[in-house]
Structure 1
Amino acid sequence: MQTPQPPAQDPAKVPDVGGSGYPEPFRSRMGDRLKKRLGEACGLTQFGVNLVTLGPGGQSALRHWHTLEDEFVYILSGEVTLVTDRGQQILKAGMCAGYPAGQRDAHHFINHSDQPAQYLEIGSRIPGDVAFYPDDDLLWIETETGTVGAHKNGEFYLDG
């Protein structure tokens, strides 16, 4: 098989990105989560596309909603528990979920199974978007040196 040439990409050759941009105590809650930034590898700038592998016990993000960003997720394999303001439901391969911008229904996935789950996450990248975390003491503050994680009272997290 021929090696793809740009603009085509082989997802297997896109590096895995682990960890999280959240400050502690939130970062470690993500658990076993790896992302392949496919949209970035293709040079996309107006929306992101990530291939995410979520290991058992991992979670996609803190439960959140966005003011300006639309998000879409398509489950490729395994199963995850979608947690929203309305409750919990199991999503399996072939299912999808969408989160319109400005809809104040915080959401995230948790992998309660004993097998990895894989999904595509797609989101717009609109300047000025703000994410809200109703369950956690976190907000993001723009500083001269970049965006910093802070408590809701404005005090920065030390490892931000």
Structure 2
Amino acid sequence: MGVIDQTEVPIKTGSIYPEPYASEMAGRSSLRLGDAGGLTQFGANLVILEPGAKSSLRHWHHNEDEFVMVTEGECTLVQDEGETRMLPGDCAAFPAGDQNGHHFINKTNAAARFLVIGTRKPHEKATYSDVDLEVELKDGTATFIHKDGTPYTGEKA
């Protein structure tokens, strides 16, 4: 495949989250660069956060590693131990199974971008630290459940 022309990569907006959580992702978009390049063993996405937007619900992965590098602007990394300001060139790594949930928030008045690289396992589970929600991903299908394993039916958690 070689060089990927970012201007030709569709911008993905929205979220796979059920409501009320999907609405919390307003102002977040991404370019699926790895998909555009035909990669199948890991994902590489350029995430764009508008002012005030957040990357995701605070979460941790059971089976997949995740690596982030800020490429433009400023992001605030939120983890169990608090907040860390991240600038272009700053990196963070989240090993599979580490239960320290994380997400990024843009607390500035300018757009921010960061590159996310993560493994793609055939079966993955992610736990959302601050709400009663988990997702199971299997063969491209996402199933949301409560932390006790019961199905999530769209009620507010």
TM-score by length of structure 2 reads 0.90
Q: Is 1:93 paired with 2:78?
A: no
Residue-by-residue CA offset, 1:13-32 (whole Å, 9 max, x unaligned): 10100000000111111120
Q: Is 1:10 paired with 2:12?
A: no
Tell me the equivalent position of 1:78: 73
Q: Secondary structure at the match of 1:8?
A: coil
The CA deviation at 1:65 is 0.6
Q: Which of 126, 129, 133 pairs up with 1:131?
A: 126
Tell me the equivalent position of 2:54: 59
Unmatched 5+ stretches in structure 1: 1-5
The CA deviation at 1:7 is 3.0
Tell me the equivalent position of 2:153: 157
Task: State the Cα RMSD in Å.
Answer: 1.9
Percent of paired sites with the same residue = 46
Tell me the equivalent position of 1:36: 31
CA distance in 2, matches of 1:141, 1:72: 20
Residue-by-residue CA offset, 1:49-101 (whole Å, 9 max, x unaligned): 00111001111111011111110011011111100011111101111111011
Q: Once structures 1 and 2 are overlaid, which stretch shifts more, 127-136 or 30-39? A: 127-136
* Matches for 1:136-151 after TM superposition, within 5 Å: 136-141=131-136, 146-151=141-146
CA distance in 2, matches of 1:103, 1:130: 12
CA distance in 1, matches of 2:63, 2:46: 22
TM-score by length of structure 1 reads 0.88
Q: Secondary structure at the match of 1:130?
A: strand
Q: Secondary structure at the match of 2:135?
A: strand
* Matches for 1:102-117 after TM superposition, within 5 Å: 102-117=97-112
